[in-house]
C-alpha cells in the first residue's frame, strides 16, 4: 500500500474516532447524541462513497490509457514486421 494511502486512512480513522469521542463526551441528551452520531456516520459514508467512485474513475482512465498504449505498440510492431 502506498504511503499516501496509509496517511489518508490514518487521517480518516483519526477524524472518525475524534468525532465519535467528541460527540459521546458532549453534555447533551442521549437522543441528541445518537442523532449526531447518525448524522456523522451518514456524512462519512457519503464521503467514502465519493472517494471510492473517484478512485474507480481514475482506475478506469488508467486502464484505458494502458490499453491505448498497448494498441499503439502492437501497431508499431506490426509495421516493423
Structure confidence at residue 71 as a pLDDT band (50, 70, 90): very high
pLDDT tens, residue by residue, 45-67: 888 889 889 899 999 999 999 99
Range of the domain at 10: 3-80
Number of domain units in the chain: 1
Residue 81 has pLDDT above 90, yes or no: no
Residue 43 has phi, psi (to 5 degrees) of: -60, -45
Question: What angle in degrees, to the nearest 10, is found between the helix axes of 3-24 and 30-80?
Answer: 170
Closest residue by Cα to residue 40 from 19, 26, 11: 19
What is the percent of the chain where pLDDT is above 70? 96
Amino acid at each position: 500500500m502506498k504511503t499516501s494511502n496509509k496517511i489518508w486512512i490514518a487521517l480518516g480513522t483519526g477524524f472518525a474516532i475524534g468525532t465519535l469521542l467528541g460527540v459521546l463526551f458532549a453534555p447533551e441528551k442521549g437522543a441528541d447524541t445518537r442523532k449526531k452520531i447518525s448524522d456523522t456516520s451518514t456524512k462519512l459514508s457519503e464521503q467514502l462513497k465519493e472517494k471510492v467512485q473517484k478512485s474507480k474513475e481514475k482506475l478506469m482512465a488508467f486502464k484505458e490509457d494502458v490499453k491505448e498504449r498497448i494498441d499503439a505498440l502492437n501497431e508499431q510492431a506490426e509495421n516493423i514486421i
